[in-house]
Homo-oligomer: A and B are copies of this chain.
Amino acid sequence: MSLPKKGSYNFKIEQYQCNVRKMLRFSFLVNTMLSAADYHSTERGFGTDYLNSIGKTWVLSRLAVEMLRIPSRHEVITVETWVEKVHPLFTNRNFRMSIQSTGETLGWGRSVWAMIDTTTRHPADLMEIKEGRIMDFVTPPDHPDYIEVPITKPVRIQMEDATLAREVDTFFSDVDFNGHINSMRYLDHILDLFPLDWHKKNNIKRLDIAYIAEGRPEVPIRIYRNIPSENAEDNSTDYGFKILQKLPENKEETEACRLRLRTIPLI
């Protein structure tokens, strides 16, 4: 049986995944995308369970998500995902989010993944796994299933003049199934810097993340932020953040990730 290159997965928006405006929280939105990537790669023989069995794993390196509309409680969304390109050490995976019943496009995603050796933590050559069969699942621009993703690649996030906004202890509930700090918990902790009243009056339009190192549980994270910048053309605001940890064995802080939020006020 040959699987289509593209995967398509449905998720019902549960009420516990919703914020005070009864809309899907952004961290749960991205989690559905990561679940779709997990299912797509697993079904095609390149999932983390197989990779772990040969001493490798996937690491999310960069991500950009841009939304036209955030879905609400009880809506069923479809997350389509496909691999656009495979470099020896990276793959580009794209996403389209839509409403299952109507096909309405909700938003788009672009991501960059590395495969690493779980012992050395060094990048592994994707072409050496299963004789490079990952190429069978690539959807290049001349393929009939190719979809042009109308958002820019993950941006480089500049962090000059960042100041400490908050130090947050990390606990069991911050830890993912791999034993590191869950990649979306950083986003939750950053969104918690904004008061509830701000969340009632603003939408997240775009999220960019660059992961630098995996976070260590039970060590506090330190969230630094930039001075926000306004974009006159669409009335949006960009907020830049970086997350650092002071590990006991190192003198310097270790950077875990950088994150940029582009938000727009509700009219």
Contacts and interface: CB of A to CB of B under 8 A. Distances in A.
Contacts of A188: 173
A179 interface: yes
A177 B194 CA distance: 17
Given A16-B176, A73-B177, A196-B218, 4 more contacts: A42-B74, A171-B192, A172-B192, A172-B195
Interface string A161-185: 0000000000111011111001010
A127 to B, nearest CB: 26
A23 to B, nearest CB: 9
Interface in A130-176: 171-173, 175-176
> How many copies, total?
2
Interface string A16-31: 1011111001010001
A173 B192 contact: yes
29 contacts: A14-B31, A15-B35, A15-B38, A15-B176, A15-B177, A16-B34, A16-B35, A16-B182, A16-B184, A18-B176, A18-B177, A19-B177, A20-B172, A20-B175, A20-B177, A22-B177, A25-B173, A27-B173, A73-B177, A171-B192, A171-B196, A172-B194, A172-B195, A172-B196, A173-B188, A173-B189, A173-B192, A195-B218, A196-B217
A140 to B, nearest CB: 29
Q: Output the residue of A21, A27, A173, A182 with the most chain B CB within 10 A.
A: A173
Contacts of A31: 14, 16
A69 interface: no
A5 interface: no
Given A14-B31, A34-B15, A35-B16, A175 B196 contact: yes
